[in-house]
Amino acid sequence: MYLYEIVLNVYIELTETRCHRYLLEKRKEKNNKRHAPPIDKLLERKTQDRPWHRQDKDMLSEEEMDTADPTGGDEEKGRLLTTPTRLLKLILPLPFRADQEHINESDSTQEHRSDEKASPLAILVHPHQPLSYLERLLQAELPPLKVGSREKLPDITFRAEADRQESKQNTGENENVASYSGLGREGPERDHEGARWVRWSGSTELGDFIRDAARGREFAIGIEGYDKEIRVAVPSFGDRTYYMRMRLRRASREIDEMAKVKRECDLEAHRGAHRLAQGGFAVLAGWWGIVYYVTFHTDFGWDLVEPVTYLAGLTTIMGGYLWFLFISRDLSYKAAMNITVSRRQNALYQNRGFDLSRWEGLVQEANSIRRDIRMIASEYDVEWNEMEDLGGKGVKKVLEKEKGAKKEGHEAKDEETEKDKGDDAKQKD
């Protein structure tokens, strides 16, 4: 009995010691959580509120940042880069970190963060999207602005250098005409202090804004609550069309190589069609000679030749009419030649390994790129040296020829469609 009491007392003391130690550890953890800065909770809240937020500062690789750097290595300026697609990559050196709670922090907090370097922000935008869309993207990435006891999203403004003719009191002939330049960042240095800057509406498309801002070397993005503007280097015409021109050059080289094979096949097909036409004339001439010989130099005479020639001529007419019903086209020399040439061409293409669908795709792609580059050149008001990117006049002639042939084919197809509709309407009547 005495031994049982001793064991019970020891067990109670051990239990009390463990409970006391557990309570002390819980209290210590609670105090640490109370005094520690809620960074993880803040990051989680910012991630939920800002779905495009980047927490990884090494997300942008050096290869992505070195592509056609329009700032010349100036890390304080933003960059607007072109991509292989029609999208534009905007890289902004925002001085705000992911754990920053407000834009207008206190001086002590700013001094504490002065040695911390924020990672740049990359955004993909389309030239046809308005500036208000870019404003919403930037607001989603920025910490809120503290105004009194409440928070609000900071306002974003976009400013560009106005036309120098607008900043002067011109009374000349072209005082109401704005001048444009496609030099952009490649233009000469200007005195920005003496320049006149204007704020642009959020409904303006990004492409139109860049085109107008190309008269200067850069445009400015203002953030409410931040005393400095972020300058962004304006891409020039060469920057905007860099990937387009590279694609056009690759397509032009391939078109030039395939055009040689296609030219040989087409020439041989036309020669074969002409030989076939000449053979048809030879058959008719031979038939004429046979009729002449049998009529005048044999004992059969015209009594036998007349019904034979009549039946032969009627058979020819019936055969031509049947062929017309088969092809459903006009009975003409051009239609016959087109059918003969096209069949011969397809056979030669297969023998020479010429991919016709690949050829049509390349021609369509090249003409589409040319059209896009011309549109951008008209926006920048510059002249585009097309021969330099096409590689010569031969490729241009091929593209223009295929473009004209495609246009004629569409017109002929439309005419046939309208004719078929008219025939159907007549049958219904």
Give residue 149's pLDDT: 82
Mention every residue, 6+ apart, whose C-beta is less than 8 A from residue 80: 70, 88, 89, 90, 91, 210, 232, 233, 234, 235
- Residue 48 pLDDT exceeds 50: no
Q: Give Cα separations from 47 to 44, 52, 150 (angstroms).
A: 5, 8, 20
- At 369, the pLDDT band (50, 70, 90 cuts) reads very high
Strand, helix or coil for residue 197: strand
Q: What is the helix (H) or strand (E) element at residue 167, kind and residue range?
A: helix 164-167
For residue 35, is pLDDT > 50?
no
| Average pLDDT estimate for 149-163 | 86
- Residue 242: is its pLDDT beyond 60? yes
pLDDT for 60: 40
Residue 36 clears pLDDT 50, i.e. is over it: no
Does residue 70 surpass a pLDDT of 60? no
- Which DSSP state fits 174? T
What pLDDT sits at residue 255?
92
Per-residue pLDDT averaged across 373-389, rounded? 85
Q: What does the pLDDT read at residue 77?
A: 85
Q: 405-421: per-residue pLDDT in tens?
A: 776 665 555 566 665 55
Structure tokens at 156: 């974003």
Q: Which residue has the higher pLDDT, 37 or 161?
A: 161
Residue 220 — very low, low, confident or very high, per pLDDT cuts 50/70/90?
Answer: very high
Contacts of 71 (CB under 8 A, 6+ apart): 77, 78, 79, 185, 233
Q: What type of residue sits at position 61?
A: S
25 vs 231, residue with greater confidence:
231
Six token digits for residue 207: 């492409």
Pick from 32-36, 58-62, 154-158: least confident: 58-62
Residue 15's CB is within 10 A of a number of other CB atoms, namely 10
* Intra-chain end-to-end CA distance of the chain, in Å: 121
Quote the CA–CA distance of 115 and 69 in Å, as a whole number.
26
What pLDDT was estimated at residue 251?
92
Mean pLDDT of 24-35: 56
More reliable by pLDDT, 74 or 341 = 341
Confidence band for 426, pLDDT divided at 50, 70 and 90: low
Residue pLDDT, tens place only, 247-265: 999 999 999 999 999 999 9
What is the structure's pLDDT at 246? 92
Percentage above 70 pLDDT, the chain: 64
Mean pLDDT of 78-91: 87
The whole-angstrom separation of Cα 71 and Cα 233 is: 6
The pLDDT of residue 108: 58
pLDDT of residue 133: 94
Q: What is the mean pLDDT of residues 88-108?
A: 79
Nearest in space to 138 (alpha carbons), one of 56, 232, 71: 232
Q: Is the pLDDT confidence value at 400 over 90?
A: no
Q: Are 238 and 384 in contact (CB under 8 A)?
A: no
The reported pTM is: 0.60
**d(Cα 191, Cα 419) in Å, to the nearest integer?**
66
Mean pLDDT computed over every residue of the chain: 75
